Amino acid sequence: MIQLNMGVRLRQVAALGLAAGLLLTGCGRDNAPTNTTETGKAIAGGAATGTINVWAQGGEATLLPELMKDFEAENPEVKVNVTAIPWDAAHNKYQTAIAGGTTPDLAQMGTTWMTDFSDAFDPKPAEIATSGFFPSSVKSTEVSGATLGVPWYVDTRVLYYRKDLAAKAGYPEFPTTWDGLTSMAKALKSQDGVKYPLQLPVSGADSFQGMLPFLWSNGAQFISKDNSKWTFDTPEIVDALKYYQSFFTEGLANKNPATGAGAGEAAFANGESPVMILGPSGLAQINKAGGPGFEDKYMVAPFPKKVSGTSFIGGSDLVVFKDAKNRDGAWKLAQWLSKPEIQIKWYKLSGSLPALQSAWKDPSLADDKKLAVFGEQLKDTNFPPTISTWTQVAAAADTQLEKIVKSGEDPAVAMKELQATADSIGTGK
């Protein structure tokens, strides 16, 4: 792992934890259209001038002023004011500002909120390129035929595993297929101290979203390409859920896992459940749970493949509001934050993973074996639909997943029920 001073590491934990939280809320949309046509008016040439008001959330708001000193040095006639907005109040805060015409110029926008406020965003000018970003992160900025921002940082989920225990079980390398994952889980089950090899989402808010990589990896899509019809009762989804259910019926995953803070990390560290799904914030959490030297006992791996090995993409975008008082300055700042050297500097400052693919060539990321896996996984990612009714449908899906896992409900029956519920809710079209 890259060695950082304690202050930076603590800031990384805070920032990455926020990224993981965004991921769980369902960032983006499935099968999003990419043929965007609307672009914003051109921005004026030259350096940025005037005052740029920026709203940011959580750890990002704390750290961003330090980075803004560099932007102000490059643009002597500009002043950047950063306002910190708590995540739990941000949605209402943006809603109120849009209604009252008091929006900032530039804002950090959780990708799950892009559709919520899309009417208030200024379309991206054509001269600001997004071709070098991870494709799924760019899709998170696209709403109804327009690109409404630029990606800032990204997050994804991978499988953490105890490589020491896996090697003893006969698996020096993590499996790359579904069959291999099942075989390794059974081999781990026979090891002393292992109770349930896999830690998997079971029930509660966002549990269905937490297991979506299993659906995507079987080629499943649960909404039509034009976002007009739900498609939950397909063979791809049913078969993926049967595979997922098998881990619980065969005693390879716990139907009733402990849910307290740090419980999963503790079970991973003590070997009771040595495989789990986490984002990059898990690196610091696992190291803390395991203590000094524990980071050498585990590794991370991309999702095993059936049709693909697709995982989530999450993170935050940068948006400029139509009511911005310094619209050109805001876009110039977004463009500056998209430079490879600035994305790398922001990573080193905050721990937030770069959305720009070329930034991953920097030794601080490329030479870290664990982070390099996140970079590879980010090339194969997807996200739930960013449509107004997704929250209701996802809550209904949580209920059906709990039936499948805890009550042994036939996935085919559960998905017929979910399809009926989703049809009644609609897609907002």
Find the distance separating the first CA and the last CA of the chain, reported in whole Å: 47
CA distances for 250 relative to 198, 207, 341, angstroms:
11, 20, 49
- What is the pLDDT at residue 9? 33
* pLDDT of residue 22 exceeding 80: no
Distance separating alpha carbons of residues 127 and 306, to the nearest angstrom: 39
Report pLDDT for 37: 54
pLDDT at 20 over 70: no
Dihedral pair phi/psi, residue 419, rounded to 5°: -60, -45
According to the model, what pLDDT value does residue 343 have?
A: 96
| Residue 143 confidence (pLDDT) | 83
Of 20 and 106, the one with more pLDDT: 106
CA proximity to 36, closest of 112, 138, 144: 144
Residue whose pair of structure tokens reads 């696992």 in the numeric block: 286
Q: Residue 25: which region, alpha, beta or left (left: phi > 0; alpha: psi -120 to 50)?
A: alpha
Per-residue pLDDT at 8 exceeds 70: no
Q: Under a CB-based contact definition with an 8 Å cutoff, are residues 155 and 316 in contact?
A: no
Q: State which of 16-20, 118-122, 379-383 shows the largest mean pLDDT.
A: 118-122
> What's the CA gap between 335 and 343, in Å, rounded?
11
Residues 97-115 have a mean pLDDT of 92
For residue 31, what pLDDT band results from cuts at 50, 70 and 90?
A: very low
Would you state the pLDDT for residue 6?
A: 28
Average pLDDT over all residues of the chain: 89
Distance between CA atoms of residues 235 and 232, nearest Å: 9
pLDDT over 50 at 61, yes or no: yes
Q: Where are the beta strands (DSSP E) in 246-313?
A: 275-278, 298-301, 311-312
- Is 11 a residue whose pLDDT tops 50? no
Among 178-192, 208-222, 328-342, 377-391, name the one with the lowest average pLDDT.
Answer: 377-391
For the stretch 260-288, pLDDT in tens is 889 999 999 999 999 999 999 899 999 99
Average pLDDT of the residues in 292-312 = 96
Residue 253 pairs in a beta bridge with 198
